[in-house]
Structure 1
Amino acid sequence: MELFTVTITTTSDEARSKFHSQMEHEFADLHMQPEGVTFTEARNSPEYQMTCHGILPGFKLTEHATKVYSKAANVLAEYILEVRERAVLRRIIRKEFHYKQAEDLDKIETYCMELLQETTEEFRTPDDRERRKRLLVQEITQYFEENTTLHVEGFIRFRLDAYTKELRDIVEYAVDEYILDQQYHEFIALLKYFVFVQETKIPVAHVMHRGDHQFVLLNDQMRPIETKQMTSVVVEMPDHDIEVEDMIVSTLITVSPQKIYIHTREPELQVIKTIQQIFESRAQLCVYCPVCSPYLSESAQQHD
């Protein structure tokens, strides 16, 4: 008795072998039993077809249907998540958001995968993959209750509306992030050019980062930098709402130091990286020195 036939599209022998192994493993408690199931396969590259048969006379679909379909659905759901999900994301990026260049596709796809695997931000939770898998298992099980032949690629395209919509939302978010990232790098490039063409106005600037968003800008005499006599440059980073950090970058560009010493205990902070990107070799990072010790020590901060 033919119970169901599944067709996947792949040119990889490894993918076919893994799919077959996963299916047989899932059905281990029924496979090759007197009242169980067995599998046959057919290959017509790029399509690979696996058919599940009930062994007569002991196997009765009416008694085992739920178990058979849920097992098959579990393997297929895992296959879609592991093997097909990236391709679905890429197709959405290309066809619905109209990105054609390989570089754009690769970067947006990377953003998508980071979002799907994210477990530290509110946007994603550790259970998201399992939830998507449960959704797929439910959809596939319902399909098998009415059909015995399933072509995975066609099923993804035409039946998995809720799953595809969720991936589309991920792509939309990733595209927004990609656009902001492009704007940021274009803006940084503009600021780098502006710094390159303007003359230096002071020899040295010390950026004292005292934690969080607390900064002090000092000149070579260790006095606060004044910009009243200069034409100020106003910098507003794209999608950037921390005014203090904008002010720090604006002031540094305005006074155009020959050398910038960035004193911080948090060198990975975004504003620190931004200053380094803009001023390149003119910016030097310091995590501890006699100059910054009085300003950045814990006792100094507690007395402020």
Structure 2
Amino acid sequence: MTYKLKIGSGRSISHLEKELSRNFQWLQERGYALNIKCEDIGKDHYLVITLQGSSDSRFFRVKDIIYIFKYQLAEVLAEEILTFWENDLVRKLVEKKYRRLPEAEKDALLQKALGFLQKCNDNESLNMLMRFGRKNRIARRIFDHLHQTDLLVIDGFINFCLRDYLTEIKFAVELASEEIKNEKEYNEFIKLLRYFVDSQAPRILEVNLMVNDAGLFYMWDGEGNYIEDKYIDYYVDDIVVNNVNLDDILVSILITIAPRRVVLHGPGKVPDNQSLQVIKKVFRDRIFTCGGCERCAGVVPRGQA
């Protein structure tokens, strides 16, 4: 039996020779010889792959061996696309759609888009599972293609047979662009809040803040007097009519007071919710964390100094 096919590309694929030899070890152990020859035709590069041998096994017919060969080849090429082509595919799309951006912003966009494609979840096992699913879909398309023809040009195959994969890449780039835009707007918002805080005199020098896991907050001054009630009354209409949440109210109160010190309290680790993240970025070196007090331990009732 002799079976031959050709893999081509506009870029060098000579590194595939070693990978193919390693992945076809199962066939080689059963007496099949794998010959890989590199050919350059103009600017195009090809690997001519020839599988030779005969099967004495009563379990595997010739067509079974060819099926296994194509299946393993599809797996190798799918991994090749994800490992060596994906970065370039994302980069080309970024260069095409956002060519007027400064290079630093293009690089940031590229890295964020690749992050969405490759590490979109904090759970590494889930990332691996999603990548495995993408690889399987690509491998299946390659496998089907190899059943129809003995020539596969990787560049053209990606452009014409992996439209759904290219759509995923396009979506990742657009999502990354939108997130970077939102990050810029958020950073401008933080700068504006810092300006408000820095440009006004503090109404209270020190504010002590405790936020529980449910998002409820308590504030008292340096002398232990609770202070939020007289400020929150100002926002009652917004809470009732405009459905403003407590996180926004908390940030607004602190911006209004503009304290020189904000001391964070809590029984154990202080919750890191969205409002506290904003407060830390706005007040920066004005933020202090309590090392442990009666209020942190929860032994002083509300309303008592």
175-184 vs 105-114, which deviates more? 105-114
1:147 deviates by: 2.5
1:23 to 17, 20, 23: 20
1:186 maps to a residue whose letter is E
* Residues 283 and 63 (structure 1), Cα distance of their counterparts in 2 relative to 1, 3 Å cut: closer
* Residues 160 and 196 (structure 1), Cα distance of their counterparts in 2 relative to 1, 3 Å cut: same
Supply the distance in 2 between the matched residues of 1:224 and 1:261 (Cα, whole angstroms): 14
SS of residue in 1 equivalent to 2:212: strand
Supply the distance in 1 between the matched residues of 2:17 and 2:244 (Cα, whole angstroms): 54
1:53 to 35, 50, 58: 50
Supply the distance in 1 between the matched residues of 2:271 and 2:14 (Cα, whole angstroms): 47
The match for 1:189 is 191
Supply the distance in 2 between the matched residues of 1:119 and 1:229 (Cα, whole angstroms): 40
TM-score of the aligned structures, taking structure 2 as reference length: 0.78
For the pair 1:282 / 2:286, whether they are aligned, the reply is yes
The match for 2:70 is 69
* Residues 99 and 80 (structure 1), Cα distance of their counterparts in 2 relative to 1, 3 Å cut: farther
SS of residue in 2 equivalent to 1:118: coil
Percent identity between the two aligned chains: 21
The match for 1:247 is 249
* Residues 229 and 284 (structure 1), Cα distance of their counterparts in 2 relative to 1, 3 Å cut: closer
Q: In the alignment, is the contact (CA less than 8 A) between 1:218 and 1:224 conserved in 2?
A: yes
The match for 1:133 is 135
* Residues 40 and 229 (structure 1), Cα distance of their counterparts in 2 relative to 1, 3 Å cut: closer
251-260 vs 160-169, which deviates more? 160-169
Deviations 1:197-252 (A, max 9, x none): 2222211111112223121121222222258589x79xx9xxxx982211111100
Supply the distance in 1 between the matched residues of 2:10 and 2:155 (Cα, whole angstroms): 7
The match for 1:173 is 175
Measured on the aligned residues, the alpha-carbon RMSD in Å equals: 3.6
Supply the distance in 2 between the matched residues of 1:171 and 1:75 (Cα, whole angstroms): 26
161-170 vs 187-196, which deviates more? 161-170
Supply the distance in 1 between the matched residues of 2:99 and 2:112 (Cα, whole angstroms): 16
1:29 maps to a residue whose letter is W
**Which structure 1 residue ranges, 5 or more long, are not aligned?**
none
Q: After superposition, where does 1:211-222 map in structure 2 within 5 Å?
A: 211-222=213-224
Deviations 1:134-172 (A, max 9, x none): 111111112222232222223222321121122223333
2:296 maps to a residue whose letter is S
The match for 2:96 is 95
Supply the distance in 2 between the matched residues of 1:107 and 1:212 (Cα, whole angstroms): 35
276-285 vs 102-111, which deviates more? 102-111
SS of residue in 2 equivalent to 1:145: helix
Q: In the alignment, is the contact (CA less than 8 A) between 1:227 and 1:251 conserved in 2?
A: no
Supply the distance in 1 between the matched residues of 2:23 and 2:6 (Cα, whole angstroms): 16
2:292 maps to a residue whose letter is C
Q: After superposition, where does 1:157-168 map in structure 2 within 5 Å?
A: 157-168=159-170
